[in-house]
Structure 1
Amino acid sequence: MEFISILFILISLGLLMFFAYRGWSVILMAPVFALLAAIASGLHALPTYTELFMPKMVTYIKNFFPIFMLGAVFGKVMEDSGAARSIAHWVVRSLGKERAIISVVLACAILTYGGVSLFVVAFAVYPFAAALFKEAGIPKRLIPGCIALGSFTFTMVAVPGTPQIQNMIPTRYFGTTAYAAPVTGILYTIIVFTAGVAWLEWRRRKAVAAGEGYGQHTKNEPETLDNNNLPPVWTSLLPMVLVLILNFVLTKVFTGLKPDIMKPFQGASSIAQVAPTWALLTALVIGIITAITLNWRTMKDKYVNSLNQGTLGSLLAIMNTASEVGYGNTIAALMGFKAIANALMSIKVGGLPLVSEAITVNVLAGITGSASGGMSIALETMGKQYLDWALNVGLNPQLLHRIAAMASSGFDTLPHNGAVITLLAICGLTHRDSYLDIFMVATIITFATGFLLALLAPVIGFV
């Protein structure tokens, strides 16, 4: 029976990946394939759906919807006010066409680290990148790799304090903050940035030597940009700087609150679990208000639409991820997964859980095609075991946080990943044109770096 359960888990995973890649909604298909595996393992379909899948899905929404919503609203306000474009234009103009690749990567990195969502970053930076690459004679097919490096990697999961959801999820499971294991995160950032830029520059030199040039493109080519009416860069940067500073300060403040304030709420989380979330939510609200206020001339007639569109956009994002989490928790309840989990937990390199955690998160992120979804499934099903293991061997839980976050930025960017598909659509390119560079900078380099640090961090002794 265990073999049958494992077999149908694999079939279920394969079908979910296939249908997601073909464009089917995971909100619809995740419960279908979860129930397929559950029925094959001897569980009844309807109780599995109503008493397992849905409660786990709803718990994820309860924990993380405010971050998704306010993050999406902040990104939409930064987009509609012109602030995101202003920052991208400033970076690109400052570094010039001689440093086209690094300027696009840095523009994406600044926006992502400032709390702007990955999709908004791609929309904001692509027009400038296309104009710059055309002027410099660099193949357009390299643009998605540059945007992926700046948006999908180090600023998403490693730079201390990044407000992206992938850095916030582990705080719920390990009692950490967004600034966990800063040295490890900074080392990851340096390695991934350096190796990624080196790869892209090598690809550029090879193309230039072959006389390739920008190429003949007609799909989604941006119109000539009017950069005269963009807001000043300082007013564009200020909301993001405020989010980062307030997130840091308020995390300290809220962590120090007395536990008594949670007593009226039965079954409430501990202060340590929710303080990072409270801090980020407060910082984002202030960032949104600041962005609208500083750009009132632009926003006075459309701020309501920006708030509404940002909120509506967050619903699809949270429902997709939550559905994947419901799927993962259903699979985790099956006898076949118990055998798989035991095999993963048996990976004890140096007697520590980091390598096991890195592999588990990478595999699940790859299966779901989602960094946040894969990590959430891994930590929901095995996070407590990893934490107990770490505490038993004297390992700082901050390393569990950082390794899990970094591991989510590895196999998540396989071809069926939604962000990859959207990025290529924005740029008017195909997987055949540009996926190799995305794969190298956002999958191979990130996986290798995260795995290396999972091995070295506890040996060398840095956090």
Structure 2
Amino acid sequence: MGVLGIIISLALLTFIAYRGYSVILFAPLCALLAALIAGVPLLPTYSEVFMTKGMAFARLYFPLFLIGAVFGKLMETTGAASSIAHWITQKVGKKGTILAVVLSCGILAYGGVSIFVVAFAVYPIGAALFREAGIPKRLLPGAIALGSWTFAMTALPGTPQIQNLIPVKYFGTDAYAAPILGLLAGICMFVFGVIWLEYRKNKALAAGEGYGTGHKNEPDALINPEELMKPGLAIVPLLIVLILNYILTRVMQSWDPAFLEPYGASLKTMAPLWALLVSVAIASLFITIVGWKRINGEANFKAAITAGVSGSLLAIMNTSSEVGYGSVIKSLPAFDKVADFMMGIDFGTPLVSEAITVNVLAGITGSASGGMTIALEAMGARYLEWANAVGLNPELLHKVASLASGGFDALPHNGAVITLLAICGLTHKSSYKDIFMTAVLIPFASTFLIIILATLFGAF
């Protein structure tokens, strides 16, 4: 009955999320349903498991959600994000419209801008470019998803997105784990994703299909590039995040860990998080100073800060609720059977089991960060023990966990998918096929390609 309760609870949560209801409310209800079927006391499960674990996640990662969302809004408000996107489109030309959108999203995401903010920032430019080039608008969400949710979010070395930082806590690594393998995975996602979208574009154009009419949420014409911030200046905040994060991570990891003993914290866990936090804070200060005139007054600055804070609260509460839900499922006696089954996927390496487990849980929860946290909370220590037993570098566990979180997470009920389609004024029916290919199937295949390379050659 316990396993059946878990299945019913997961199916119900997936259905509810797909229908657009808030997981902040329904995740605990679905968790308590599983506990009820398992015969576990409800009130202690809610207060001592769901709330304790969910808020532990928020305590650790909320500062990153907060400063990342504020930084993204400042990049948007100052026009720095639009400037970078316009500069790329000028370089690749009209025939490279899809490539321009993908690169624009990728650079912003790799620079630390929240993937939700990236969609808002790039959509008006992408839609105008697609319209000008006569490319069907239904392909635009796939291009934005490819640039935001794949290579820049999970694969490229040092990416400051939360999906690349969560494994640090469990494996004692940092954001630059297995850099060459990550780069290869990113190249695979990027190249095959663009090839797919170009194939879809050429097929549509050959059939006489154009941009289309009657679309919702249509943007105005392209902004005059002369009114935007110079691209060389606009990209400096992103470089600050990437370079300073790399330097500070290594500086902080060299500190004497003794000063943290009274707090019961680990320097290996906290140093990469502190480094990114400081880096994004300095980048935020920089873009505020150099872009103050473009912000156009204190009122707009307050609005940008408020919007960033509000967005971060919703994001962290959604993810924390999903983590709390997963923690309840993990605490149920029947979960041991599920965990044993996952751990039983043995190809001589824990990487395959880890990839499948993270993918499945990310798909169930509709969240890359939430699904990965649930998986690593439940089995991270066992994967690390297994890796040590077979002489496997923990950096490979980090990289595979990060890559796997960006696969099944983008199923139709994913909040980012729903938000992206709403921003573009499109539907699942018209555009999800391309999102599935670029943000689910290709990243999933790339993850297993990296597992094969890691098995043959180790971490590099």
Superposition TM-score tier, normalisation by shorter sequence: over 0.9
Partner of 1:403: 400
SS at match of 2:165: helix
For 1:218 and 1:40, the matched residues in 2 are separated by: 46
Q: Deviation of residue 453 (structure 1)?
A: 1.6
For 1:79 and 1:304, the matched residues in 2 are separated by: 14
Q: Deviation of residue 240 (structure 1)?
A: 0.7
For 1:278 and 1:134, the matched residues in 2 are separated by: 43
**Residues matched between the structures, number:** 457
Asked if residue 281 in structure 1 is aligned to residue 277 in structure 2, the reply is yes
Asked if residue 292 in structure 1 is aligned to residue 288 in structure 2, the reply is yes
For 1:163 and 1:54, the matched residues in 2 are separated by: 27
Asked if residue 17 in structure 1 is aligned to residue 25 in structure 2, the reply is no
Q: Deviation of residue 455 (structure 1)?
A: 2.9
Runs of 4+ off more than 4 Å: none
2:403–2:443 contact (8 Å) kept in structure 1: yes
SS at match of 2:235: helix
Partner of 1:325: 323
Letter in 2 for 1:277: L
TM-score relative to the length of structure 2 = 0.98
Partner of 2:245: 247
Partner of 1:233: 231
Letter in 1 for 2:344: S
1:5–1:336 contact (8 Å) kept in structure 2: yes
Q: Deviation of residue 89 (structure 1)?
A: 1.2
Structure 1 residue aligned with 2:380, among 378, 383, 397? 383
SS at match of 2:67: helix
Structure 1 residue aligned with 2:37, among 20, 37, 40? 40
Partner of 2:48: 51
Partner of 1:311: 309
Runs of 5+ consecutive residues of structure 1 not aligned to the other structure: none
Letter in 2 for 1:17: T
Structure 2 residue aligned with 1:117, among 106, 114, 120? 114
Q: Deviation of residue 131 (structure 1)?
A: 1.6
Identity between Structure 1 and Structure 2 (%): 58
Matches within 5 A, 1:57-456: 57-227=54-224, 228-265=226-263, 268-299=264-295, 300-301=297-298, 302-349=300-347, 351-456=348-453
Runs of 5+ consecutive residues of structure 2 not aligned to the other structure: none
1:355–1:455 contact (8 Å) kept in structure 2: no
Letter in 1 for 2:426: L
Q: Deviations over 1:189-226 (max 9, x none)?
A: 11111111111111111111111111113311101233
Q: Deviations over 1:42-94 (max 9, x none)?
A: 11100111111111011101111111011111101111111111111111122
For 1:52 and 1:190, the matched residues in 2 are separated by: 40
1:90–1:233 contact (8 Å) kept in structure 2: yes
Letter in 1 for 2:273: T
1:92–1:128 contact (8 Å) kept in structure 2: no
Q: Deviation of residue 307 (structure 1)?
A: 2.0
1:178–1:276 contact (8 Å) kept in structure 2: yes
RMSD of aligned residue pairs (Cα, Å): 1.0
For 2:258 and 2:335, the matched residues in 1 are separated by: 39
Q: Deviation of residue 359 (structure 1)?
A: 0.1
SS at match of 1:128: helix
Structure 1 residues 172 and 462, CA, compared in 2 at 3 Å: closer, same or farther? closer
Q: Deviation of residue 129 (structure 1)?
A: 1.3
